[in-house]
């Protein structure tokens, strides 16, 4: 089948040609559907990875979302089944055994599956059209770490790279942050990414995604929309809220990957950010990617490892994002 980098180019510079690298759990599926519904986005390829679910389930879930979106010809690739070293941590307790809340019984396969691995496809596309694609990894960074072995200048070949992962600067004293799952799953790959040369690398971490909440009213609006998109979104969000209700006592959930997807195409929703080196840190239990400063702007108390600057998102226009997120997911793919 024809690879997307062989198609005739879309010439409008306002259109983002996105390669989405995903461990397709519930928030990933919503991010994918949201991108599919934006008129300023072309989904150029979707590469799978383990994380929220196994890589095989991630492929099934990509196929399922593309079926809902009517975009089954989008190129898909099979990626890493585990981190560069060690065993994968699969978040079945959050996303269900199949990654989408165990709502479907029979797996389906992508209709346009590449013969290349995720890492190989990412490198092939980036080399073929430097500066044309935007890379959006929203799972563990294993595929990108492998791709950097093949092409050390990989991130310089993308228009931008936006990562859902990281924890921003260090939090205020006494504050405990949500788990930085994508970094924790493969710290070695993450270290490669944050050390690599790049055009623009944006970190959308749990410091901004955790407080970006899809609430009960939003889920009701999706269910009332009466469209296949709205019904699908509401169904999987109900499963997501089964997990998150024990955190806040309400049936709500964070829009982790959806927010990262939105900020790639709508960077004006970033209201506060800072550039600086990001390092991988661990306390022996949790591994995180942090901007090397405290919440008050002071340097950390040890010598940071030098790294190119990353644009670290500190705050966003949540109201504007959430309104658009629900609008697009309710609209049934009008791409209005």
Mean pLDDT of the chain: 94
pLDDT digits (tens, 9 = 90+) for 186-233: 999 999 999 999 999 999 999 999 999 999 999 999 999 999 999 999
**pLDDT score recorded for residue 11:** 42
**pLDDT score recorded for residue 332:** 63
Confidence of residue 9 (pLDDT cuts 50, 70, 90): very low
Is the pLDDT reported for residue 3 higher than 60? no
Average confidence (pLDDT) over 18-41: 97
pLDDT digits (tens, 9 = 90+) for 245-282: 999 999 999 999 999 999 999 999 999 999 999 999 99
Average confidence (pLDDT) over 102-122: 95
SS (H, E, C) the chain: CCCHHHCCCCCCCCCEEEEEEECCCHHHHHHHHHHHCCCCEEEEEEEECCCCCCHHHHHHHHHHHHHHHCCCCCEEEECCCCCCCCCCCCCHHHHCCCCCCCCCCCCCCCCCEEEEEHHHHHHHHHHHCCCCEEEEECCCCHHHHHHHHHCCCHHHHCCEEEEECCCCCCCCCCCCCCCCHHHHHCHHHHHHHHHCCCCCEEEECHHHHCCCEECHHHHHHHHHCCCHHHHHHHHHHHHHHHHHHHHHCCCCEECHHHHHHHHHHCHHHEEEEEEECEEEEECCCCEEEEECECCCCCECCCCCCCCCCEEEEEEECHHHHHHHHHHHHHCCCCCC
pLDDT digits (tens, 9 = 90+) for 274-317: 999 999 999 999 999 999 999 999 999 999 999 999 999 999 99
Is the pLDDT reported for residue 336 higher than 70? no
Confidence of residue 7 (pLDDT cuts 50, 70, 90): very low
Confidence of residue 105 (pLDDT cuts 50, 70, 90): confident
pLDDT digits (tens, 9 = 90+) for 134-185: 999 999 999 999 999 999 999 999 999 999 999 999 999 999 999 999 999 9
CATH (residue range 12-330): 3.90.245.10
Is the pLDDT reported for residue 55 higher than 80? yes
């Amino acid at each position: 089948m024809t690879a997307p980098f062989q198609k005739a180019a879309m010439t409008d510079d306002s259109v983002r040609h996105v390669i989405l690298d995903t461990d397709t759990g519930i928030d990933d599926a919503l991010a994918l559907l949201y991108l599919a519904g934006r008129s300023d986005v072309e989904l150029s390829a979707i590469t799978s990875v383990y994380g929220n679910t196994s890589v095989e389930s991630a492929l099934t879930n990509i196929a399922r979302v593309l079926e809902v979106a009517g975009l089954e010809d989008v190129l898909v690739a099979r990626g890493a089944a585990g981190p560069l070293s060690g065993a994968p941590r699969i978040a079945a307790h959050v996303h269900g055994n199949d990654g989408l809340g165990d709502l479907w019984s029979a797996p389906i396969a992508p209709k346009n599956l590449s013969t290349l691995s995720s890492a190989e496809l990412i490198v092939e596309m980036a080399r073929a059209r430097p500066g044309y694609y935007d890379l959006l990894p929203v799972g563990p960074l294993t595929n990108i770490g492998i791709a950097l072995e093949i092409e050390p200048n990989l991130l310089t070949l993308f228009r931008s790279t936006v990562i859902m992962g990281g924890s921003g600067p260090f939090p205020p004293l006494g504050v405990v942050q949500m788990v930085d799952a994508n970094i924790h799953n493969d710290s070695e790959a993450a270290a490669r990414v944050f050390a690599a040369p790049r055009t623009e690398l944006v970190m959308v971490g749990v410091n901004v995604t955790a407080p970006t909440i899809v609430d009960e009213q939003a889920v009701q609006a999706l269910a009332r929309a009466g469209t296949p998109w709205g019904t699908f979104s509401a169904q999987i969000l109900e499963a997501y809220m089964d997990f998150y209700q024990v955190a806040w006592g309400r049936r709500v959930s964070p829009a982790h990957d959806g927010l990262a997807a939105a900020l790639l195409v709508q960077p004006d929703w970033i209201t506060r950010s800072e550039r600086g080196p990001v390092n991988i840190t661990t306390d022996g239990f949790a591994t995180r990617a942090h901007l090397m400063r405290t919440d008050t702007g002071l340097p950390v108390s040890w010598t940071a490892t030098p790294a190119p600057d990353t644009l670290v998102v500190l705050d966003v226009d949540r109201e504007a994002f959430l309104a658009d997120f629900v609008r697009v997911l309710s609209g049934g793919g009008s791409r209005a």
